[in-house]
Structure 1
Amino acid sequence: MKSNQTRQGFTLVELLVVIAIIGVLVGLLLPAVQAAREAARRMSCSNNFKQMGLGLHNYHSAYNKLPKHKGGTHIDGGNNYTHNRGYLSFLVGILPFVEQQGMWETISNPFNFDRNGNALTPPNTYAAMGGTPWNEDYQPWLTQVPMYRCPSDPVIPAGTQVAFSNYAACTGDAFFEQHHNGIQDGNGQPSGDGTWGATAGNRWARGAFHGRNFTGFRDILDGLSNTILCGEIVVGNGNREIFSSIHRDGNVANQPPSYWATSGVIDPARPQFWSDSANWDGNANHQRGRRWADGRPTYTSFMTIGPPNSYNVCRGEGNFGIYSAASRHQGGVHILMGDGAVRFVTSSIDAGNQDHVAYGRDNGDGRGANGGAGRESPYGLWGALGTKGMKEVIDSEF
């Protein structure tokens, strides 16, 4: 006798076919989902720059100048509480113009509490404008300003570390004297007119920002739309990446940018990483972007010497050197132009003659104390965008 019951469910073969189809669809859609997420992060990063540009323009409207990069207070014999040694970055100065008025009020007034809220007693109480930007007991330096972080960069500070920044000032295409710029650390007085002095430092002031000196839109003779104000950097995470960690070499002043790609300090098997022979600093506090309030070039500056996402080489801690723009976005970096426009520049932008030793200390070869004055950038379109008054003609898209 035949059964009239209808079979229910799937056979094992049919179930496996359905699972296989779902797996294929997920495999096809996952890259698209990841790409959509990165596109959203990139858009958020661009919006951060737009807000920063608006803040810089409002600051300039209020004071007829850009905020000083490496400004602040100087006290002879002071400690890490009583002054900041004139190291504060421009990111501190624009706080009230980027909707961070509360933090600005805290910084610009005396503050008598440590990071845990415990009352402090003299002489270890914070004067107006805070202590040194590496002071991990000063609450404002530990406070992360969301707008100063790129959402594509995953590195986050530990609870006792100062907060980070992915956005940096463009100081042009010369590297020497980016640390002091002719101003003494201890008392804020000019260093004289020698090799390390103020006059020599001014000759290397080729970018929109010049450490420990005010600049304004009037100084940007190449035009606001042709000059970079700020760009992205990647926060160092201690994993030897050439664009986020730093190789230290006391001879950096005498080597062309191309030297670092051929000297053996970059791993040939993994060209985005330093080799074992590199003198890279694994100290987390000495990595790119690790102190948002510190105006020294390691932390919040870059030069248009090496192309985006290339190497960082310096002498000493946070001292002069070659510091590159970099990002976690695919293929390039965001830059903020003087007119407030945000552009995305690819890592393959024309960077000119990488065999040309950067303008810097005078070694008798004409590229030092007077060498950079009035000369066009040797670093192609990228270098020209970083200079503010060398009269280069920007006649190509980037």
Structure 2
Amino acid sequence: MKRRRTAFTLVELLVVISIIGVLMALTTAGVQAARERARRMECANNLRQLGLAGTLHDTSKGQLPGYVQDFGFFAGGVDPSSEVGATVASHRKVGTWAVALLPYVEALPTYERWTEDRYPILSDSSDATSGEFEGNGFHPYAAPNLAIFQCPSNPVVSGNRGKNCYVSNNGMCHLRRDGSSITGVSFSTSQARANGIGNSKYNIASVNASNGKGTRTSQGPKVRIEDMKDGAGNTLLYTENVQAFPWHRAGLIHGADLKSATLPTPYDVTFDANTTAKVEAARYVHGVVWHYEDIAASAAASPTWNSSVGEAPIVVHSLHRINGGGTGSDSTSQDRFVKVVSNMQDARDLARPSSAHNDGVNAVMASGAVRFIRDSIDYRVYQAMLTPQGKQSDVPWPEFVMTDQIDN
């Protein structure tokens, strides 16, 4: 008589367990991939809204926002929003391109905080000169964490206020990697309409002690969507950067940098975007730039280098490519802060699109279209995307620029 088996053998159990393990691994990978696709789509939607906001700003203000702007002045006194009647010192309200877009991204109360003179943007707390990853002296109501500035794939580690993952197209970097000048290029010329979108709208080298007024020099021109001769669909507005600084903070300034105990009210504050490292960083911690570099650096390889610059470019540095060229050379936001303080070269090197997505970054064009740009992109194409008028720009090889414009 045949004996009836009442249990699985060890081999059968191991086979079943193995099959379950394989199925779980496949399912987990599929779920993770689906989640990343959803996060990437949410990030793209954030940028689409920022692109629309930039368009609305252009329509209502007659220009796209600069990477640093003046939003008014608080004369000092009691903060109307304080429940305990806190008194705040007088200060200038200097902010970023992101502040300018607030009314168009459903953040009007925060925008009013910046633009109405009765409200301060600084707090009365003691962190006005300290706390790099805290408030930097800014009022919580002036620097809230807004979802539209945060990519869900990017774990922002810098700061507990104004968390940010997005930056603007700030055009040409007017310096070489070692900080030396490029022949025929200055800070002012690098801000030309042909070279990029975002530029400095508040640039003051010194302030007159008798009247508190500063002379605004080297400010960039107005840039409108209609100025984009290469086509709005070929010109980048905003993109991702995993080292982006808090959206409200212009460069490395603290709240104390916006105050003065000696100048008559109202007053300007010294904010020299060309020579002061703390302020110069504003161009790089809130934007992406293109460098005077090319894939072929020898004159023999390409004898038609830009004659307006007057020198051949150097070979493209890997750090200047999107995501560092996909080499894994990125660092975290907090690491970037340490780098920027010690060496401005690191700030310039990291001012390029980067993300936590695989193989590339999201970006919104001036037309409102969102594109996923691979980190393997040709650097000349990258330069073309950042220059609204490529053939008139200072790129090393203008003839390469993607454009339908006709030479005059």
Per the TM superposition, whether the score is higher than 0.5 is yes
Contact 2:64–2:223 (8 Å) recurs in 1: yes
Match of 1:309 in 2: 323
Residue 342 of structure 1 is aligned with which of 370, 375, 388?
370
Q: Structure 1's 315 and 144: CA in aligned 2 closer, same or farther, altered over 3 A?
A: closer
* Structure 1 residues 13 and 202: CA distance shift in structure 2, 3 A: closer
Distance in 2 between residues matched to 1:113 and 1:208, nearest whole Å = 26
Aligned counterpart, 2:26: 28
Aligned partners of 1:136 and 1:162 also within 8 Å: no
| Partner residue in 1 for 2:196 | 207
The equivalent residue for 1:99 is 106
Give the Cα separation in 2 of the matches to 1:218 and 1:209.
15
Secondary structure of 2:14's partner? helix
Sort the Cα spacing of 1:317 and 1:58 in 2 relative to 1 into closer, same or farther, 3 A.
farther
DSSP-derived class of the 1:382 partner: helix
Asked whether 1:82 is paired with 2:87, we answer: no
SS, match of residue 109 in structure 2 = helix
State how far apart, in whole Å, the 2-side matches of 1:349 and 1:58 are.
Answer: 30
Q: For residue 293 of structure 1, what is the aligned residue in structure 2?
A: 248
The answer on 1:223 being equivalent to 2:231 is yes
Contact in 2 for aligned 1:148/1:166 (Cα 8 Å): yes
CA-CA distance at 1:208 after TM superposition: 1.3
Local SS of the residue matching 2:167: strand
Q: Which has the higher helix share?
A: 2
Check 1:156–1:142 CA distance in 2 against 1; reply closer, same or farther (3 A cut).
Answer: farther
- Pairwise mapping of residues 1-398 of structure 1 onto structure 2 (< 5 A)? 10-73=8-71, 82-84=90-92, 86=94, 88-109=95-116, 110-111=118-119, 135-157=136-158, 161-176=160-175, 200=189, 202-203=191-192, 206-212=195-201, 213=220, 214-234=222-242, 288-295=243-250, 296-305=282-291, 306-310=320-324, 321-322=348-349, 323-351=351-379, 380-391=380-391, 393-394=401-402
Per-residue CA shift, 1:190-218, capped at 9, x if unaligned? xxxxx977x55645871011121442123
Q: CA deviation at 1:152?
A: 0.7
Aligned residues of 2:193 and 2:389 also touching (Cα < 8 A)? no
Q: CA deviation at 1:315?
A: 8.6
Gaps of at least 5 residues in structure 1 are: 125-132, 178-194, 235-287, 352-379
Shift of 1:142: 3.9
Aligned equivalents of 1:382 and 1:203: distance in 2? 18
Whether the 8 Å CA contact 1:175–1:321 is kept in 2: the answer is no
Shift of 1:64: 2.2
Report Cα offsets for 1:93-133 as digits up to 9, x if no partner: 11110111222223333336976xxxx59xx9xxxxxxxx9
Please report how far the alpha carbon of residue 26 of structure 1 lies from its aligned counterpart in structure 2 after TM superposition: 1.2
Distance 1:315 1:103, change over 3 A: closer
Assess if the C-alpha contact under 8 Å between 1:298 and 1:318 holds in 2. no
CA 57–112 in structure 1, closer or farther in 2 if over 3 Å, else same: closer
Q: CA deviation at 1:162?
A: 3.1
Where structure 2 has 5 or more consecutive residues not aligned to the other structure, the ranges are: 77-87, 129-133, 177-184, 202-219, 251-281, 292-319, 330-335, 392-397
2:340 and 2:169 map into 1 onto residues whose CA distance is 16
| Aligned partners of 2:236 and 2:386 also within 8 Å | yes
> Separation in 1 of the partners of 2:357 and 2:238?
16
Residues 58/200 of structure 1: CA separation in 2 closer, same or farther (3 Å cut): closer
2:198 maps to amino acid: F
For 1:113 and 1:227, the matched residues in 2 are separated by 33
Aligned length: 278
The separation in 2 between residues aligned to 1:318 and 1:91, in whole angstroms, is 23
CA distance in structure 2 between the aligned counterparts of 1:330 and 1:209, rounded to whole angstroms: 27
- Residues 15 and 42 of structure 1: CA distance in aligned 2, closer, same or farther (over 3 Å): same
Could you tell me whether the CA contact under 8 Å between 2:170 and 2:197 is conserved in 1? yes
* CA distance 1:395–1:215, change in 2 (3 Å): closer
**Taking structure 1 as reference, are residues 329 and 167 closer, same or farther at Cα in structure 2, changes over 3 Å only?**
same
Instruction: Provide the aligned C-alpha RMSD in A.
Output: 3.8
What TM-score results when the alignment is normalised by the length of structure 2? Answer: 0.58
Q: 1:42 to 1:27 in 2, by over 3 A?
A: same
**Rounded Cα–Cα distance in structure 1 between residues aligned with 2:193 and 2:223:** 13
Distance 2:100 2:234 in 1: 24
SS class of match (1:143): coil
Structure number with the higher strand fraction is: 2
Shifted more, 92-101 versus 318-327: the winner is 318-327
* Alignment partners' CA distance in 1, 2:228 and 2:64: 11
* 1:96 maps to amino acid: P
For 1:303, the aligned partner's letter is V
3-state SS in 1 of match to 2:290? coil
Give the whole-Å Cα distance in 2 for the aligned partners of 1:81 and 1:164.
25
State the distance in 1 between where 2:64 and 2:193 align: 18
TM-score (norm. length: structure 1): 0.60
Superposed displacement of residue 388, structure 1: 1.4
